[in-house]
Amino acid sequence: MSKYDIIVLGSGPGGYVAAIRASQLGFKTAIVEKENLGGVCLNWGCIPTKALLKSAQVFEYLKHAEDYGLTVKDVDKDFDAVVKRSRNVADGMSKGVQFLMKKNKIDVIEGYGKLKTGKKIDVDGKEYSADHIIIATGARSRELPSLPQDGKKVIGYREALNLPEVPKKMIVVGSGAIGVEFAYFYNSMGADVTIVEYLPNVVPVEDVDVSKQLEKSFKKSGIKIMTSAEVTSVDTSGNGVKATVKTSKGEEVLEADIILSAVGIKTNIEGIGLEDVGIAVDRDKILVNDYYQTNIPGYYAIGDVTPGQALAHVASAEGILCVEKIAGQHVEALDYGNIPGCTYCSPEIASVGLTEKQAKEKGYDIKVGKFPFSASGKASASGAKDGFVKVIFDAKYGEWLGCHMIGAGVTDMIAEAVLGRKLETTGHEVLKAVHPHPTMSEAVMEAVAAAYDEVIHL
């Protein structure tokens, strides 16, 4: 039996990052992976979807070249090439993780891992032991009873990355990040897209102003949106698929070539031996403390299988924190109230902290500032005037409670708010920090100025 200090089960952005940090700290480390290094994020999620979305963005630019005084004739897409580029990007990233494993002298054990008592893992019949075992098995597309996936007419995100052709009509069920990103992509590729959202607003976790702006932008692009709507059944017996949608006005039948089910994720906790070891689970999540220790000593869990936000950067942060705690370092528990969320449709969405509604519900007396990109010189020059930056401050102490952005490139801008909140900066400090002009990022300063009735360019 091979013996290690740390074995990580799963090689997604939580698992492989934890393994690298463990190796850096001098632990003899192994990682178990049943499929591809990098997990869903690198192979079927974050990275390949961004490659698809970049192709869509370039295609949109070319179609609107005249807006920039340019003439481009006979613009068309090669959908096979678009998908192939996405897969190549994902393959390259997975190979990058392979290199990092070798560089950090981490043993990669290929196969299906199952936890055993006594801090052991069985991988396809061979046993390995470790002083510490970290569970990082991630999640997959969730299936609803009314929306069973057959992989052909009713699909999840994996199939959506690899379709042989652009469907003429597509229904996207669910308007979280996955739903709206694919809705934007396939709409830009020429599909007739309808989004069906159960809640009253699209991207329902976002500030309501952001939701309304995205709906407005999407409708302008030709995407149909049905909110407060539920798919109650699907019929795949014909050439395409028919979805029965229940709304406040009654039932409606929508027809399409394909339905993309984007109704959330299901954790990968079945069949990995949790019951055999006695690890506590509640509502599909492994229960852990602030340092990702389970109820059984020597077993830890990070990433999507735990109750925190199911985001790649959260999994990575948890993995590092978990390993550093094992190493005896002094570490602070992760602040889940200061985790940025990013959605990469067009316009992009980025946010951190409390929404305006949440701040009011918590009893804060607030100052709210909003600066539209239509008033931004850089946005006008770039032809990207949709959207805004919205900031929320505690009126009493100036604490930065929340920041919500929708527009071009905002996923690269949100880090300012995350860092500012981490450093407990106040509204006046942000306002007096000189921002470069002309940039999209100066809209953050302008929004803060608006909150304090000092806005110049609005």
User: Residue with structure tokens 């809705």?
Assistant: 183
Q: Out of 32-46, 330-344, 405-419, which region has the weakest mean confidence (pLDDT)?
A: 32-46
Residue 315: pLDDT band by 50, 70, 90 thresholds?
Answer: very high
Record the tokens describing residue 155, joined without a space: 């699909």
Record the tokens describing residue 142, joined without a space: 């969730």
Residue 238: pLDDT band by 50, 70, 90 thresholds?
Answer: confident
Cα–Cα distance measured from residue 114 to residue 293, given in angstroms and rounded to the nearest whole number: 18
Element spanning 181, H or E: helix 177-188
Record the tokens describing residue 27, joined without a space: 């632990």
User: Is 437 in the active site?
Assistant: yes
The pLDDT, as a whole number, for residue 31 is 97
Q: Is 127 annotated as a binding residue?
A: no
Task: Fill in the amino acid letter for 99.
Answer: F
Cα–Cα distance measured from residue 248 to residue 170, given in angstroms and rounded to the nearest whole number: 22
* Three-state DSSP class for residue 283: coil
Q: Is 174 annotated as a binding residue?
A: yes
The pLDDT, as a whole number, for residue 43 is 83
- Residue 445 scores a pLDDT above 90: yes
Please, are residues 75 and 62 in contact by the beta-carbon 8 Å criterion? yes
Please, are residues 218 and 202 in contact by the beta-carbon 8 Å criterion? yes
Q: Is 264 annotated as a binding residue?
A: yes
Residue 292: pLDDT band by 50, 70, 90 thresholds?
Answer: very high
Element spanning 266, H or E: strand 265-267
Positive or negative torsion for Cα 99, 310, 144, 248: negative
Please, are residues 22 and 15 in contact by the beta-carbon 8 Å criterion? no
The pLDDT, as a whole number, for residue 366 is 97
- Residue 93 scores a pLDDT above 80: yes
Q: Average pLDDT in the 255-264 region?
A: 96
Please, are residues 376 and 385 in contact by the beta-carbon 8 Å criterion? yes
- Residue 51 scores a pLDDT above 90: yes
The pLDDT, as a whole number, for residue 40 is 81
Please, are residues 18 and 136 in contact by the beta-carbon 8 Å criterion? yes
Print burial letters for 129-164: b (CB count within 10 Å at least 16), e (below 16): ebebbbbbbbbbbbebebbebeeebbbbbbbbbebe
Please, are residues 148 and 232 in contact by the beta-carbon 8 Å criterion? no
Residue 307: pLDDT band by 50, 70, 90 thresholds?
Answer: very high
CB atoms within 10 A of CB 396: 10
Nearest alpha-carbon partner for 458 in 379, 356, 346: 379
The model's pLDDT over 372-406, given as tens digits with 9 standing for 90+, comes to 999 999 999 999 999 999 999 999 999 999 999 99
The model's pLDDT over 419-441, given as tens digits with 9 standing for 90+, comes to 999 999 999 999 999 999 999 99
Same topology, domains 2-141+266-336 and 154-263? Answer is: yes
Residue 118: pLDDT band by 50, 70, 90 thresholds?
Answer: very high
- Residue 1 scores a pLDDT above 80: no
- Residue 90 scores a pLDDT above 80: yes
Cα–Cα distance measured from residue 422 to residue 227, given in angstroms and rounded to the nearest whole number: 35
* Three-state DSSP class for residue 183: helix
Q: Is 179 annotated as a binding residue?
A: yes
Q: Is 286 exposed, middle or buried (0-12, 13-18, 19+ CB in 10 A)?
A: buried
Q: Is 180 annotated as a binding residue?
A: yes
Q: Is 55 annotated as a binding residue?
A: no
**CATH fold for domain 347-451:** Enolase-like; domain 1 (3.30.390)
The arrangement of secondary structure in 2-141+266-336, i.e. its CATH architecture, is: 3-Layer(bba) Sandwich (3.50)
| CA trace torsion 210, 303, 420, 399 (10° rounding) | 70
The pLDDT, as a whole number, for residue 36 is 86
CATH number of 154-263: 3.50.50.60
Domain parsing of the chain, residue ranges: 2-141+266-336, 154-263, 347-451
Record the tokens describing residue 371, joined without a space: 């600066």
Q: Is 261 annotated as a binding residue?
A: no
**Which of the following is catalytic: 64, 428, 437, 457?**
437
Nearest alpha-carbon partner for 83 in 163, 168, 187, 192: 163
User: Residue with structure tokens 């948890």?
Assistant: 318
Q: Average pLDDT in the 9-24 region?
A: 96
Q: Average pLDDT in the 66-81 region?
A: 92
Q: Indicate the average pLDDT of the chain.
A: 95
The model's pLDDT over 204-225, given as tens digits with 9 standing for 90+, comes to 999 999 999 999 999 999 999 9
Q: Is 416 annotated as a binding residue?
A: no
Q: Is 207 annotated as a binding residue?
A: no
Please, are residues 344 and 49 in contact by the beta-carbon 8 Å criterion? yes
Residue 41: pLDDT band by 50, 70, 90 thresholds?
Answer: confident
CB atoms within 10 A of CB 86: 21
Phi, psi of 71 (to 5 degrees): -115, 120
